Amino acid sequence: MEAANTTTDILVLPFFGQGHLFPCVELCKNLSSHNCKSILIIPSHLSSSIPSNLHLHPSVEVLQIPASYSPPPPGTAAPPPPPAVPAKSVAKRPHQELGQGIESFLAQRYPGQTRPGCVVMDVMMSWSKEIFMREKIPVVTFFTSGACSTALEYAAWKAHVDDMGPTETRSLPGLPETMALSYLEIQRKDLHRRPDGGGSRRGGGGGMDFSPPKPGGTPRWLDEAEGSTALLLNTCDDLEGLFIEYLNGQIKKPVFGVGPLLPETYWKSTGSLLHDRDSRPKRESNYTEDEVIQWLDSKPERSVIYVSFGSEVGPTMDEYDELEEALEESGRSFIWVIQPGSGLSGPPANFFGGKKRGPDANREGYYPDGLEEKVGERGLIIKGWAPQLMILSHPSTGGFLSHCGWNSTVEAIGRGIPILAWPIRGDQFYDAKLVVKYLKVGHMVSSGGGLAEMVKKCDIMEGIKVLMDDGEVHGRAMALRGIFEAGYPSSSDASLKALVELVSK
């Protein structure tokens, strides 16, 4: 008689954008060591972002749901443009197609009474929650962010920080005094938000509201996680245990730290150069990884400031001008990564499936024309994809000017690189506060806490100088790197085991 198959299927549903997709890919791999088969569900236009070796993993299945309006194959004529439709309809279409595809998959794969153990769902995909609940599939809400930002958003709401006075600083009960919020920190949240909903956020648009609540407001994730069996956070006890413990005490369901969800090669290459090409698909770029290595090899140890704002957010056009002048006049070596559409409103290209949408759809975005000639070999300007893991692990890199997206933050911490924090919106402000006030491995981009309405050239130049010359911050950053030297955290592996046991009952 054939033995019963005790492997548990776990569905994983990421949000659009590589900052959400990459952690879900690593989550699928890590679940495989706990007698699970992971099924990663993605719209087909994201297939090029999936590492090719994932398709060969014996315990991971990639399920692609066909998406409309994908780019035509090379060498074929482009189809006629679709008829004009209201913005909200455009935004909802990918959801409708993905939802219908999920329903068809569930009906075919799990007929009768068979069910997967659960679906691990990005918190920004909560619109699909009812599909799984209708099929009596447990929902586990996944935050690709860390515990500090989630805890601070919740604590700010409980502390009613929205009624603070201009000179007030308010403590957050249950959290360290260093995490108290000032009036200026609360006000700063809305300065990059344009009246038309555009501005620096390039991940939204199309009538969909992905923005965080006004500080002190009810965290949106409370509603989005309603009915969930548990919450997963992309962090670990050694890095953010205090904030995980706080959330466990406040939320009436299990909260697990299961990260940082970084490539396996990251954990195996501690102390040596890490190659992005070994773990992440290459995108369009004006430099190869080897060319970037060659440039870094020519620079003194810890002398290069790395500047990158990720793929979804960035400064305003005016602030990019200030940044360009600051890098030119700083006299320091730098790598500056500029994404397509930088400085523009609306979602980035391919966010909803191969088409840039929004009022700036036909504009190219910011690029510092002429800067390369002015700085010569002192600067390397990368347009498009950059091998970030390699850059952060190279001994010539001495600092990281970052928006403090969570993935970038932990990638830098794990390589002992101090951070010059330039948060743009949402949880990035809380990540910056973690870096600067709690972990003390960085500085804000301006001496006023990064709270001015517009970041100026003088703020950036002074911030770079302070960061690169601060030996104490560099020492703490190198010490904190030790958390990552033993590989994927044992506490996070234990949390995954506890999750599987929970959903397998």
Q: Is residue 504 part of a domain?
A: no
Exposure of 452 in the CB half-sphere (CA atoms within 13 A) = 15
CB atoms within 10 A of CB 182: 17
Task: Report the pLDDT value the prediction gives residue 247, as an integer from 0 to 100.
Answer: 98
List the pLDDT tens digit at each of the 505 positions of the chain.
344 456 899 999 999 888 899 999 999 999 999 999 999 999 998 888 898 889 999 999 999 998 754 443 433 333 333 333 343 444 455 688 899 999 999 999 999 889 999 999 999 999 999 999 999 999 999 999 999 999 999 999 999 998 888 889 999 999 999 999 988 887 754 444 433 333 443 333 333 455 556 667 889 899 999 999 999 999 999 999 999 999 999 998 999 999 999 999 999 887 789 888 877 776 788 999 999 999 999 999 999 999 999 777 789 999 999 999 999 999 999 999 998 888 886 555 545 444 544 555 446 789 999 999 999 999 999 999 899 999 999 999 999 999 999 999 999 999 999 999 999 888 899 999 999 999 999 999 986 554 557 899 999 999 999 999 999 999 999 999 999 998 999 999 999 999 999 999 8
Which residue in 414, 496, 387, 426 sits closest to 193, CA to CA?
426
Phi, psi of 461 (to 5 degrees): -65, -45
> What is d(CA 6, CA 279) in angstroms, rounded to the nearest whole number?
30
Q: Which domain holds residue 424?
A: 275-484
* CA pair distance 110, 131, nearest whole angstrom: 14
Alpha helices in 251-316 (DSSP H): 264-268, 289-297
194 part of a folded domain: no
**Token pair 């920190």: residue:** 185
318: CATH: 3.40.50.2000
> Rounded to the nearest 5°, which phi and psi values hold at 231?
-115, 140
| Confidence at residue 212, expressed as pLDDT on a 0 to 100 scale | 56
Question: Does 106 map to a domain?
Answer: no
Residue 76 lies in a domain: no
**Amino acid 93: pLDDT:** 59
For 218, the 3-state DSSP assignment is coil
Residue-by-residue DSSP string for 33-99: GGTEEEEEEEEGGGGGGS-GGGGG-TTEEEEEEP-SSPPPPTTSPPPPPPPP--HHHHHHHHHHHHH
**Residue 28 one-letter amino acid:** C
- Does residue 346 form part of some domain? yes
Give the model's pLDDT for residue 1: 36
Query: Tell me, what's the pLDDT at 110?
Result: 95
100 alpha-carbon distance from chain centroid: 27
pLDDT of residue 195: 37
Q: What is the pLDDT of residue 2?
A: 40
353 within some domain: yes
Closest by CA position to 426, among listed 231, 180, 201, 225 = 201
SS (H, E, C) 332-349: CEEEEEECCCCCCCCCCC
Q: What is the CA radius of gyration of the chain?
A: 22
How do strand 118-122 and strand 181-182 relate by DSSP bridges? unpaired
In a domain, 430, yes or no: yes
Number of domains into which the chain is organized: 1
From 325, 301, 120, select the one nearest 228 (Cα to Cα): 120
Q: Is residue 66 part of a domain?
A: no
> Residues 77-105, buried b or exposed e (16+ Cβ, 10 A)?
eeeeeeeeeeeeebbbbbeebbbebbeee
| C-alpha dihedral sign at 44, 127, 199, 306 | negative
